[in-house]
Amino acid sequence: SAVISQKPSRDICQRGTSLTIQCQVDSQVTMMFWYRQQPGQSLTLIATANQGSEATYESGFVIDKFPISRPNLTFSTLTVSNMSPEDSSIYLCSVDSGGGHTEAFFGQGTRLTVV
Amino acid sequence: AQSVTQPDIHITVSEGASLELRCNYSYGATPYLFWYVQSPGQGLQLLLKYFSGDTLVQGIKGFEAEFKRSQSSFNLRKPSVHWSDAAEYFCAVGTSGTYKYIFGTGTRLKVLA
């Protein structure tokens, strides 16, 4: 199994500012995933981050708004840029256990409130 | 397009009663199916998964789920609910070859003492 630590666990930010969320995994993983969970809604995949290459973004998400770094096999960051109240969500980091669809592990999430 | 539907947004049961949470999926091939639970302020924890083989799968915390291809369903069941089961439950489909998960909208379970 993989243990994922996310920081910060929660934050309240002013509109127009940016927040960087960190995700640390206790083992090396090829793919890391970032999800958004808007209030009362399900999880939506933002992007897939592979080490050594550009992140792949899902429809509706762009790199300028959600830049992602993946400097090594155990760490990734997601930045929420130029925030507005609509960005208030829980952001979750996830990794696949390997071999395709054996299991996805999730961090505890970062609860972001934009005021 | 792939999709997951959880028809029940909220379910309330009494402690000790049985539970069934519904999940229907739309997917062109044999799906990989998952149930996750999210307690307040927590990430998601895997309850159980189905890839192939026996259509009745056992998971943690006394949960089980049955894959029914003819009904495109993967319903979650528990014979006797405990107060600690109060949480939000998500059904998910894994999309072959892309490592992506599509989640349902979730069912929030409330347990009455």
Q: Tens digit of pLDDT for each residue in B71-81?
A: 999 999 999 99
Residues B105, A42: C-beta atoms closer than 8 Å: yes
Distance CA(A88)–CA(A114), nearest Å, equals 5
Tens digits of residue pLDDT in A7-57: 999 999 999 999 999 999 999 988 899 999 998 888 999 999 988 888 999
Residues of A with CB under 8 A from a CB of B: 4, 6, 31, 33, 41-45, 48, 92, 94, 96, 100-109, 111
Distance between CA atoms of residues A19 and A9, nearest Å: 12
Chain B residues whose beta carbon lies within 8 Å of the beta carbon of residue A108 = 41-43
pLDDT at B22: 98
Strand-pairing partners, residue A11, are: A112
* Span B2-15, pLDDT tens digits: 889 999 999 999 99
Q: Do A42 and B106 touch (CB under 8 A)?
A: yes
- Separation between Cα atoms, residue B59 and residue A35, nearest integer Å: 24
Using a CB-CB cut-off of 8 Å, the residues of chain B touching A96 are: 99
- Interchain contact, A42 vs B104, CB within 8 Å: yes
The residues that bridge with A33 in the sheet, in sequence order, are: A48, A94
SS3 call for A40: coil
B→A interface, C-beta within 8 Å: 32, 34, 36, 41-46, 49, 51, 90, 94, 96-97, 99-101, 103-106
pLDDT tens column, B18-58: 999 999 999 877 788 999 999 887 888 999 999 888 899 99
Terminal CA-CA length for chain A: 37
pLDDT at B72: 93
Q: For strand B87-95 and strand B107-112, is the pairing parallel, antiparallel, or unpaired? A: antiparallel
| Residue A102's pLDDT band (cuts 50, 70, 90) | low
* Residue B106: both structure tokens together: 């979730």
**Which tokens sit at A80?**
């929420």
Tokens representing B13 are 């049961």
- Mean pLDDT score of chain A, rounded to an integer? 91
Mean pLDDT of A91-100: 80
